[in-house]
Structure 1
Amino acid sequence: MSIPTRLIAHFDLDAFFVSVECLNDTTLKGLPLAVGGTGDRSVVAACSYEARKYGVHSAMPMKTALRICPHLKVVSGTRSEYSRYSRIVTDLIGAAAPLFEKASIDEFYIDLTGMEKFFRPLQWTLQLREQIMKATGLPISFGMGVNKMIAKIATDAAKPNGYLYIEPGKEIEFLDQMKVSKIPGVGDQTNRELLQLGIETIRELRLANPDMLHRQLGKLGPELWNKAHGRHTGEVNPYQEAKSVSTENTYETDITDLSYLEAELVRMTEKIAYELRQENKLAGCIAVKIRYPDFETTSRQTTIPYTFYDDELIPQARSLFRQLYRKGYAVRLLGVRLSELTAEAKQTNLFQDIDRKSDLYKAIDSVKNQFGKESINKAGGLKNRNL
């Protein structure tokens, strides 16, 4: 029994942050545009194709971007909107696809292997793309091929707002014309090392001696050689919403002290935010739970821009608590839960002051790792320390 040829589609929302900004403010369309901050340490989170013509690119210091493109329009970004549109696209793909992986906030893989028995995969993927564009108004490109790598490279070649199907057996013909930098995972350093070996194109990499590549690049050498031949074994990992993280406390004595309860809320939120950062995940939803002495239990939740920072989560927790709390009533149980956990939103953190904030939280977590989770707490949570 022959093993069916794999068939993978890769979707990528084009210049996602920029596209969302232009959708919400049509005056931005056609401009050299960057999303990010304007502080000394700010970087470009995303940029329009018009800005890219001047050499602007993601992760570039904003100062550099403004120097090479003085008329660059900079917007600070609306993370809540990026989260909202990402959820819409995820739901649309999840409702249609037999098996899909959410690789990032704007990037998806779909495994269509064997689906030709039931429908025409290319036509099905085109229809799904049209459905996404109609529902969101956002441009989206896709590539299709026999593995994730081929599909992703095809998507990059199809941009902006296009599609490309690499038929089985055409992988080498497709790859040979490209520079080695087009291979996912080949960064600036590896690209420089390959250039020093006289290898600039994927064809030259394919024809290189694999033993020489191993000597020069270690185990990366044969891996790249296989990629140059169009080989890639990465699986499409089924998308599942990560489990929530939560903490709650049932008090031996019912609590009526509002300041104590608010301090508890801060402490709990700090605790689970720390746990998120240790797992390198972000939360897209926060909930607060209150139980009264008569065992009546009430909870409320709200979606939020993906984050794992205390200073962004605590105000949300406080707001939910104030909406729920019945003034003058004692509380038997208090809890906080973070859900819609994901590692996908890393790129949403390339905004103003984010480097400074990241450094601060790394320092705080380092102390907590060394001396315990409770070694550092915000002032709002200190009342609990001696109670």
Structure 2
Amino acid sequence: MERTIVHMDLDTFFVSCERLRNSELDKIPVIIGGGDRGVVASCSYEARYYGVRSAMPIKMALRLCPQAKVIKGDMELYSRLSHTVTEIIQEKAPVVEKASVDEHYLDISGMDRFFGSYQWTQELMQNVTKHTGLPVSFALSVNKTVAKIGTGEVKPSGKREIRQHEIKPFLAPLSIKKIPMVGDKTFQLLSRIGIRTIHTLSEMPAEVLQQMIGKNGIDLWKKANGIDHTPVEPYTERKSISTEHTFDRDTIDIAMLRTLITGMVEKLAFQLRTEQWLTSTVVVKLRYANFDTETKQAQIPYTSADHTLNRCVHELFDKLYNRRMRIRLIGIRFTGLVRGSLQINLFEDTEEMLALYQAMDHIKHRFGHNKVYRASSVYVPPKKK
């Protein structure tokens, strides 16, 4: 049986959320971000017309579009509306994968025996907009890659079905940048040898691509030829991530505890960013030598940034540790998770800070999470006199 996969995307989601509560933002250039040295988290199509793009420094965006309205952003609002959309889709679709805060994949294979799949998806799209006020685009095809590329081509508020025999003619003239796994480096590498369209890429020998860009070469060739067997993974919301450390010997060494805490936070924050989560609740747990266990928690704006989380965890530790008794165990837990990425949540941080996190994460992904870390997470025992 031929698969029927839908990709649904909430158009300029953050901007659309802000327009729901302030109609004066309709049809004007809007930038979601924060601070003169911050980055663009999202922007309206009116701002994109002037060249504004996500992850661009706010200062540069305002030079391109000085009349734009800059809004700090409200992840709590976006998370709540995203959850509502997911509930509406899950109620109707048999298999749903929430790919991000504003994207969903649906596997509706076999439904065309009872309904027209395109008509059914169009009605679901209208249902989402009716109940939330949010504009939606979708594309329907035989796999996730073609459906996602299709959605990108019909935005905003567009819809399209790409049947099996239409896939190659549809993909052929498009830029290779339209393929989800093609980043700037891969695009530049392929452009240097004249590969700029998906048609040209699809005709390259798969083995040559593998030699050029490594293990992803075969996958890239398959996607260029409209081949993608990746399943739609049923959506389940993760509740929290955590880590604990039990000491071989109970300790009261505060300096050592602080460096350990920093390292634990850094590891968890890297996990958040890798899995594309943001946390809104931080919990610190202490177990004393007499096995008494105490916890303290704090609500924070959604984030996955080490420095923000570190500050909060250390403040909680200072409030919690007041017995001056030896500690047996320390634990840290991040909960209240929502989907989101680092560039989305750094509303108040600088482009330099964003670039630093991206560089550190790249090194960790390539060489291991313990190959680069903060100096403050390394404990150096005091020299004995």
Normalising by structure 1, we get a TM-score of 0.72
Secondary structure (helix, strand or coil) at the match of 1:277 reads: helix
Shift of residue 270, structure 1, vs aligned partner: 6.0
Question: Where do 5+ consecutive residues of structure 1 fail to align?
Answer: 250-259, 326-332, 378-387
Shift of residue 171, structure 1, vs aligned partner: 0.6
The match for 1:141 among 133, 137, 140 is 137
Measured against aligned partners, the alpha-carbon deviations of 1:11-67 in whole angstroms (never above 9, x if no partner) come to 111111221222222212211221123333x22211111111111111222222222
Aligned to 1:171: 167
Measured against aligned partners, the alpha-carbon deviations of 1:273-325 in whole angstroms (never above 9, x if no partner) come to 4342242363444568899x9x9x99989695244546358769989xx9xx9
The match for 2:268 among 273, 276, 283 is 276
The match for 1:29 among 26, 30, 39 is 26
Question: Are 1:92 and 2:84 an aligned pair?
Answer: no
Shift of residue 191, structure 1, vs aligned partner: 3.1
What is the alpha-carbon distance in structure 2 between the residues aligned to residue 212 and residue 303 of structure 1?
47
- Percent of matched pairs sharing the same residue: 38
Shift of residue 117, structure 1, vs aligned partner: 4.3
The match for 2:57 among 58, 61, 75 is 61
What code does the residue aligned with 2:28 have? L
Aligned to 2:121: 125
Secondary structure (helix, strand or coil) at the match of 2:2 reads: coil
Q: What value does the CA root-mean-square deviation take over the aligned residues? A: 4.8
What is the alpha-carbon distance in structure 1 between the residues aligned to residue 298 and residue 162 of structure 2?
44
Aligned pairs (5 A) from 1:141-290: 141-206=137-202, 209-211=203-205, 214=208, 218=212, 222-242=218-238, 243-245=240-242, 273-279=265-271, 280=273, 282-284=277-279, 285-286=281-282
Aligned to 2:325: none
What is the alpha-carbon distance in structure 2 between the residues aligned to residue 135 and residue 300 of structure 1?
34
Aligned to 2:7: 10
Asked if structure 2 preserves the Cα contact closer than 8 Å seen for 1:276 and 1:308, the reply is: no
What code does the residue aligned with 1:95 have? E
Asked if structure 2 preserves the Cα contact closer than 8 Å seen for 1:129 and 1:140, the reply is: yes
Aligned to 1:380: none
| Alpha carbons of structure 1 residues 154 and 369: separation in structure 2 relative to 1, 3 Å | closer
Shift of residue 92, structure 1, vs aligned partner: 2.7
Secondary structure (helix, strand or coil) at the match of 1:17 reads: helix
Asked if structure 2 preserves the Cα contact closer than 8 Å seen for 1:101 and 1:237, the reply is: yes
Secondary structure (helix, strand or coil) at the match of 1:9 reads: strand
Question: Are 1:20 and 2:14 an aligned pair?
Answer: no
* Residues paired across the two proteins, number: 369
What is the alpha-carbon distance in structure 2 between the residues aligned to residue 196 and residue 359 of structure 1?
25
What is the alpha-carbon distance in structure 2 between the residues aligned to residue 132 and residue 93 of structure 1?
8
Secondary structure (helix, strand or coil) at the match of 2:6 reads: strand
Question: Where do 5+ consecutive residues of structure 2 fail to align?
Answer: 247-253, 321-328, 378-385
Shift of residue 228, structure 1, vs aligned partner: 2.7
